[in-house]
Structure 1
Amino acid sequence: MTDMQVNPSFRLAYVPGVTPGKWARVWVERLPDVPLDLVAVPSEEGERTVREGSADAGLIRLPVDKDVLSAIPLYTETTVVVFPKDHWLAAAEEVTLDDLAEDVVFHPLDDTLGWAADALPGRPAIERPATTADAIELVAANVGVLLVPQSLARLHHRRDLTYRPVVEAPQSQVALSWPQERTTDLVEEFIGIVRGRTVNSSRGRGAGQASAAPAAQPKKAVAPRKPQQQKAGGQQRAGGQKAGGQKPGARGGAAAARRGKPKRRS
């Protein structure tokens, strides 16, 4: 690993549909003195951005070139089909690829599902939209439908559109990726964050900060209470009763009993 001072900040690229906020918040808590720069990049440029060093690491979609980049898969997204709300597919809870046989299915140039040209279901469009956003506009115009990861359907949400999960469709997998030759301490720190390591188990800089923190001051010992002193006539018991079983004032009570009850006045 390289020295920490070589890279005083950390640049993290992320592609559309990926939300790095939860990991960024942990970073700020653990390394408040190391700026985290979030760099939004188009889906098709995610791998190139990381490979060329424009970012220290990236939350991008697989596959990547494993000869150059390391990658830790994080999660797999559900694939959905986006269509107008008045489309007949809205009556279904989930959709099969055969259900799309009569629909025009758009295949944007920034496709994130890796469709082969001859494997895309439905009828092909006259030309491929340049971006997913362009394809969404065509879907809203009731020209066809679009298959995308669910996060992109949410990202491009419109009131006049809806979506349903598609069974047996290819899925997109999101991963943390970085150049194999540049596995720095800061990269290790971010790996620990996405893997859910605690600050004490992290291998990066945060662990060093945790170990350097001053130890908690031990609590002051409380002096034990002194045992009650013994009195003449026996050991003192709870409630002030002596070993003989008599309570304080018991003698007076016995003497009064011997004197008898007071006579009633006539």
Structure 2
Amino acid sequence: MTGSEVSPSFRLAYVPGVTPAKWVRIWNERLPGIPLHLVAVSAAEACDVLRGGGADAGFVRMPVDRADLSAIPLYTETTVVVVPKDHVVAAVEEVSSADLADDIVLHPLDDVVGWEQLPGRPAIERPATTADAIELVAAGVGVLVVPQSLARLHHRKDLTYRPLTDAPQSRVALSWPEDKTTDMVEDFIGIVRGRTVNSSRGRSQAQAQSPKAQSKGQAKAQPKGKRPGAGGAQRKPAAGKAAGKGTRGGSGGTKGAQRGKPRRRS
């Protein structure tokens, strides 16, 4: 099989915390002939993967450099603080940054919250990953502030989380290389935006129909017996032609001209 004959496929990158299952299911229902391959990437490397051609589109965390990437913001996540179940925070419904003043707040190297100033007391060392930070929270070393989806992703029975009301929030977007907005990318954008099957497929069908086929379809749409430019009906003979077999002799006809001929004298 040559390169030009390779079956098309769509590669979708996604960062931790994003669950693309719903959109993948809709893609498989609408485009069963084009397999969708998931590419798990870290939040830090997601945009570089798109630029390097490692994926056709991806769910990333903002901000996104719009110089070469297009992005559609999808939703904003609630920021939560992850604590042991016996922590004082577990007794309330929500907390503020001031409530964490006496706690060590872990700040992993893959943090996606984007703090200007981290609340609480800093740890001696920064954990390498969010997963490592979760282990330290379970060990009672400190607490961790993350988007809610990451707290769910790293759920443990001995931990819980509560909304942090005044923390920065993380926004998730669908992004792709601006100069590679292919038909498949457009199809996936339609799925994410909730377009119906008819509206998303109608674009491809309209592009696939040739101008010749379109003009043929328009001709078939004309009612039988009516041709463009014919006014929709056959022309009736002019009134003069319908009445006048003797128009050459004027309005009176040939016999009238003979009756008007002078008599010859004897």
Q: TM-score, normalised by structure 1?
A: 0.74
Question: Partner amino acid for 1:152?
Answer: L
Unpaired runs of 5+ residues, structure 1, are 212-266
Q: SS where residue 198 of structure 2 aligns? A: coil
Paired residues for 1:126-137 under 5 Å: 126-137=124-135
Name the CA distance, whole Å, in 2 between partners of 1:62 and 1:203: 30
Name the CA distance, whole Å, in 1 between partners of 2:74 and 2:7: 25
Question: Partner amino acid for 1:27?
Answer: W
2:144 is aligned to: 146
Name the CA distance, whole Å, in 2 between partners of 1:204 and 1:18: 29
1:101 is aligned to: 101
Question: Partner amino acid for 1:130?
Answer: A
Q: CA 1:94/1:184 → structure 2, altered by over 3 Å: closer, same or farther?
A: same
The C-alpha deviation readout for 1:212-256, integer Å capped at 9, x for no partner, is: xxxxxxxxxxxxxxxxxxxxxxxxxxxxxxxxxxxxxxxxxxxxx
- Whether the 8 Å CA contact 1:106–1:145 is kept in 2: the answer is yes
Q: CA deviation at 1:51?
A: 1.7
- Whether the 8 Å CA contact 1:188–1:203 is kept in 2: the answer is no
Name the CA distance, whole Å, in 2 between partners of 1:112 and 1:204: 38
- Whether the 8 Å CA contact 1:111–1:132 is kept in 2: the answer is yes
2:22 is aligned to: 22
Q: SS where residue 190 of structure 2 aligns? A: helix
Q: CA 1:24/1:205 → structure 2, altered by over 3 Å: closer, same or farther?
A: farther
Unpaired runs of 5+ residues, structure 2, are 210-266
1:200 is aligned to: 198
Q: SS where residue 199 of structure 2 aligns? A: coil
Question: Partner amino acid for 2:89?
Answer: L
2:232 is aligned to: none
Q: CA 1:32/1:189 → structure 2, altered by over 3 Å: closer, same or farther?
A: same
Name the CA distance, whole Å, in 1 between partners of 2:126 and 2:135: 13
Q: CA deviation at 1:7?
A: 7.8
The C-alpha deviation readout for 1:118-164, integer Å capped at 9, x for no partner, is: x1000001011100000000000001000000000000000110000
| Equivalences, count | 206
Paired residues for 1:1-266 under 5 Å: 8-116=8-116, 119-202=117-200
The two structures, once aligned, show a CA RMSD in angstroms of: 2.2
Question: Partner amino acid for 2:168?
Answer: P
Name the CA distance, whole Å, in 2 between partners of 1:92 and 1:47: 38
Question: Identity across aligned pairs (percent)?
Answer: 73
Q: CA deviation at 1:204?
A: 7.2
Q: SS where residue 12 of structure 1 aligns? A: strand
- Whether the 8 Å CA contact 1:61–1:172 is kept in 2: the answer is yes
Q: SS where residue 73 of structure 1 aligns? A: strand
Q: CA 1:206/1:147 → structure 2, altered by over 3 Å: closer, same or farther?
A: farther
Q: CA deviation at 1:42?
A: 1.5
- Whether the 8 Å CA contact 1:186–1:205 is kept in 2: the answer is no
1:260 is aligned to: none
Name the CA distance, whole Å, in 1 between partners of 2:11 and 2:43: 17
Q: CA 1:141/1:67 → structure 2, altered by over 3 Å: closer, same or farther?
A: same
Name the CA distance, whole Å, in 2 between partners of 1:83 and 1:5: 54
Q: CA deviation at 1:205?
A: 6.8
The C-alpha deviation readout for 1:191-225, integer Å capped at 9, x for no partner, is: 0000000121126776569x9xxxxxxxxxxxxxx
- Whether the 8 Å CA contact 1:100–1:121 is kept in 2: the answer is yes
Q: SS where residue 80 of structure 1 aligns? A: strand
Q: CA 1:182/1:95 → structure 2, altered by over 3 Å: closer, same or farther?
A: same
The C-alpha deviation readout for 1:46-105, integer Å capped at 9, x for no partner, is: 111112110000011111111010000111100000000000111110010000000000
Name the CA distance, whole Å, in 1 between partners of 2:124 and 2:163: 25
- Whether the 8 Å CA contact 1:113–1:149 is kept in 2: the answer is yes
